[in-house]
Structure formats: structure tokens, C-alpha cells
Structure 1
């Protein structure tokens, strides 16, 4: 249980260090991410509920594997036949890239957003030049990275719910931004997708259509 608390605290505090917890939406965003992290590390270092529920099927499909060991808890590595140290397996490497990339995006996004809020203007530079909600995209990327590393039934169930939750928060933020910035927000929203960046060609066409500059 001590490892659960320590590891959860490290990642939650690390994420919180990039977020200016000034509004209720900020706290809700971090709270949803924290719930995912707690569920993940509870199974990783606490009671392995997923292994317990799937023990019969896993035992039949992969005889000889001790699924109660920590290494075997990296289910994707085990199920795809990686029998060496799973921490050096393909899924674990992809996981690390996504997690570190997500935290990098989170840090860049909140830096731009905080400065824009301080200046009472719309955040449109940095990651916000490509998507309207890079901070939520970052949280989803980080959670996806953890799923590659340690998928569990609980986190797989929580993941789509949290994505829906972030979409709801994003829509509420957009309504507030539109009320505050009016036509400036509408022009920005027409030129910039909400969550998935456009290709360079689509971005150029969108800028032209909205009256913005083209590269």
C-alpha cells in the first residue's frame, strides 16, 4: 500500500505542478486524472483485481506464466510473447514516450494559458495554435501511455468516461471563452480544431478561409 501512495502522489503532484489550480474546472480536470492514477497504481502495487478476475482465462491461454508476479502484470508484453524484462519491451517503450510526451505538452500548454489569462487575452500560441484544448489532449495521451504499460479492467472502463468528461469540460470552457472574447473566439475556433490537429494542408486552408495568415 505504501508504494501505491508514493507512486500515485509523485505523478499527481507532478501533473499538478504544471497546472494553475485557479478554477473549479482546473480542480475537476486534475481530480479526474488523479482517480485514474490511483486506480492504476492500486492494481500495479496493491491488489491485482484484473489478474484475479482473469486468472482462469490467463492460466489457460498462457500456461507456465506466473501472473501474480509484478513483471507479468505488464499484460500486453506477456500476451504478445515478450518473455524478457518487460520494462524494455516495445509496449513499455511506447508507454514511456507517450507519458513523457504528454507531460511535455501539459507543461507547454499551461505555460501559454497562464500567461494569456494573466494578460486577459485568448490563448492562441504554442500548442493552442494547433488545437483548442491541448491540456486535455495531454491528459488523454498520458493515460493512454499508462494503458500501454499496465492495462487493467478498471482503467479500461474509466478511460472512455474520462475522455467524455474532458470533452464536457472543454465545451463549458468554450462557452465561457465565447462569452468573454466574442468574435475573436469564433474566428479562432473556426481555424483551430478542438482536439486533433489538422494536417498542414488543412491548416493552411482553414487559415485562408478564416482570414488568417498563411505560411
Structure 2
């Protein structure tokens, strides 16, 4: 797969539900090195329990599974979470399945057999889905416009560098701690090393462009937004 795509996926977590163990193992081998963590389920009930416990960024699920189907699983999740990204896999191409799946706001519907090309297109669609949101409210009177790389406060505006723009968008979209490892993987070039001084300077400059105390350091782990 494309290196840039794989590099982007490494900061996300995945829940993969598939009752056919052979298929699950094959797809897991492809995905294993791409995601931060992968959680495997062999039926819909197990998948839902893992979803509640792990809160993955992406769910890939087969439609037909024991105990709870993929459609039932996603419908149940959608009752409380309309935003989590979902890819459905299925051996079915008939209109009824497609219409049911369409109502669930999927990233992609993959018709089996699952090839690396189909998977790559679906994962690219997953990454691209985050590009739809470009304007975020940080705190009252502070707005971040990702498309313009701009942070606007009540009295001043700040233009972000490319790295700052990517990092702030990642913090907002993922809504969790971004680890030092993720920062190095995504923001630093493959041929360069993220030194402590380089990271310290990067954070210092970014803080000057954000509301006071909004960027919080989690000692020994990484950074998150305090919003």
C-alpha cells in the first residue's frame, strides 16, 4: 500500500469483526502494521462489547455474523455515536442490503472477495472523510479554520505552519492524547529524527497561536487539547 496512507493510519485504532476465521486472519495480516491497535471480534455481540470498551476510530465489519449482524451492530452503535467511521464487507450485492447499509452513513461498502486494492481504496476514503470538517470552535471567540491554516481569536489571527496545521487538526479530530510516537511518525519526515529540542520548539511556537492553556502536556505520553 501507499506509504503516505500507511503512515496516516498508524495513529488510528481499528475494530475488525469477521466470523470467518480464515478471512479474518488474512485481512489482519494486511492491516497488522498499519494501525496503532487492532481489536478482533468473531461475532456482532463481541464486536459491540469491544466497541464500548475500546472506542475505536474505525470499524470494519462483515454484514452477516452470528448473534448480531453487521447491520444490527452498526445500527446499535449509531444510536449513541453518529460519527464513528464504518466500513462494511459483504458477499451480497443485492439492492436490499445496499439500501440498508446506505442509511448507516458508511465510509465504504466492500463486496467480497476483499482484495488489497479494495481495502486500500476504503482506507483512503476513511482518511479523506476527515477532510470534510474544516472549521472548529476551540473555545468561545476562538476559531480554527483548517482549510486556511488559520487560528482566529477575538483580537488577532495566526497563520499555522504545515506541521502545526496537521497537528492541531489531528488533536481535534481524534479527541484524545496524541503520543510522542504518533507526532514523530506523522509530522517528522522519514529521513529526520524528532529531537526533544525540536519538539519543544514546535510546541512553544504553536502555543503562542492558541488560547492560553488549551494545549496540555501529558507527562511521558504526549499532548491533548484541554477543551
Q: Same fold (TM over 0.5)?
A: no
Larger Rg: 1
Structure that is richer in helix per residue: 1
TM-score normalised over the length of structure 1:
0.29
